[in-house]
Amino acid sequence: MTAQSSAEAIQPHSRNMLDGRHLVPGERVIWESRPAMAIVLLRPIIITVLALAFASIVLSYDGSLAYLVAALVLAALMIPFDRRFGIPAAIAGIIIAFLVSLDRAWDVLVFIPVVLGVLPLITTYMNWRNTVFVLTDRRIISQYGFLSRHFSDTGLDKVQSISLSQPLLERIFGFGDIAIITSGDLGRAVRRRPGLRFHSGGDVVWENVPRPFETEKLLSEHVYRPMAPPRGAAA
C-alpha cells in the first residue's frame, strides 16, 4: 500500500483541527486526529458521577449512619481520579457530610464538591478539544492547550524511530500510544497534557490514538521514505 492510499484510509483532516496559521507557505497537511475522547474523558466522567452521587445522598440524608458512611466513601473516592480537584472536593465533601449530619441546613454547601468534581470534566474536555496530532509533508506537529495554545513540531528528517504500544484498556477499545523518538531513546517524561507526553530530548508520545496501526504505518511511510533531491540539484 502506498503512502497516499494509507492516508486516504484514515485521513480525517478535512475537519481542519490544526490551527492553519502554524503552517508555513506551501506546507500540506497529510493527516490529523485527536486522542480518543472515550479514554481521555473516562476519569473525569467518573469523578463527575461520584460528585453527583455524593450530592444526591447529602440532599436526601435521613439521619442514618449508612447515609453518612456512603457520603464519606463517595467523597474519598474522588481523590484517585483527579488529584488537582479531587483532593479539595473530597475534603470539602467530608466536612459538609459531617456538618449535614449535625444540621440539614448545611446541605446548601453541597454545590462546592459538585463544582470541584465537575471542573475536571470541563477542563479535560477543553484540553482534548484543542489537542491535535498532525502529519504534514514536512513535519510532525503536536498542538495543545486551550487558554494558551502551544505547538511542538519535529522535522520528518529528525525522527529516528517510531514505536507503538497498546496498554490493556486501549487495546480493548482499539486505541494505542505512538512514540516519536528523535534522540535515539525515549527519555524521561518532562511534561504531560491530556493525550500527550513530552520527554527529554524532544521525544513525544501521542496517547490514545484511534486506529493506531494504520497511523503508525502512515507515519513510517513518510518518515522513512527516500528523500527527493532539492529542486535544481544536479542529476
Q: pLDDT tens across 115-139, in order?
A: 999 999 999 999 999 999 999 999 9
In this prediction, residue 227 carries a pLDDT of 53
- pLDDT bin (cut points 50, 70, 90) of residue 3 is very low
Q: Which of 126, 156, 173 is the last residue of a domain?
A: 126
Q: Is residue 232 part of a domain?
A: no
- CA separation for the pair 128, 34 (Å, rounded): 7
| Domain C-terminal end among 98, 126, 154 | 126
Q: Looking at the structure, do residues 107 and 60 belong to the same domain, yes or no?
A: yes
Closest CA to 179 of 192, 198, 152: 198
The per-residue pLDDT of the chain, averaged, comes to: 85
Task: Identify which has the larger pLDDT, 234 or 164.
Answer: 164
Tell me: pLDDT of 228 over 80: no
| Host domain of residue 71 | 42-126
Question: What local confidence, expressed as pLDDT, does residue 119 receive?
Answer: 93
Is 26 exposed, middle or buried (CB count within 10 Å of its CB: 0-12, 13-18, 19+)? exposed
* Residue 94 or residue 227, greater confidence: 94
Is 74 buried (19+), middle (13-18) or exposed (0-12) by CB count in 10 A? buried
- At 81 the pLDDT is 85
Residue 5 is predicted with a pLDDT of: 46
The answer to whether 72 touches 100, Cβ cutoff 8 Å, is no
Name the pLDDT band for 57 (thresholds 50, 70, 90).
very high
pLDDT of residue 232: 53
Find where cell 464519606 sits. Answer: 72
Position 233 in a domain: no
Residue 68 lies in a domain: yes
pLDDT tier, 64 (very low <50, low <70, confident <90, very high otherwise)? confident
pLDDT at 223 over 70: yes
This prediction's pTM:
0.80
Q: Which residues fall within 8 angstroms of residue 221, CB to CB, at 6 or more apart?
A: 2, 3, 6
Is residue 142 over pLDDT 90? yes
Query: Is residue 139 domain-shared with residue 168, that is, in the same domain?
Result: yes
What does the pLDDT read at residue 233? 47
Task: Find the mean pLDDT for residues 157-182.
Answer: 90
Does residue 150 have a pLDDT over 70? Answer: yes
Span between the terminal Cα atoms of the chain, in Å:
29
Give the other-Cβ count within 10 Å of 168's Cβ.
6
The model's confidence at residue 210, banded by pLDDT at 50, 70 and 90, is very high
Nine cell digits for residue 67: 447515609
Same domain, 142 and 200: yes
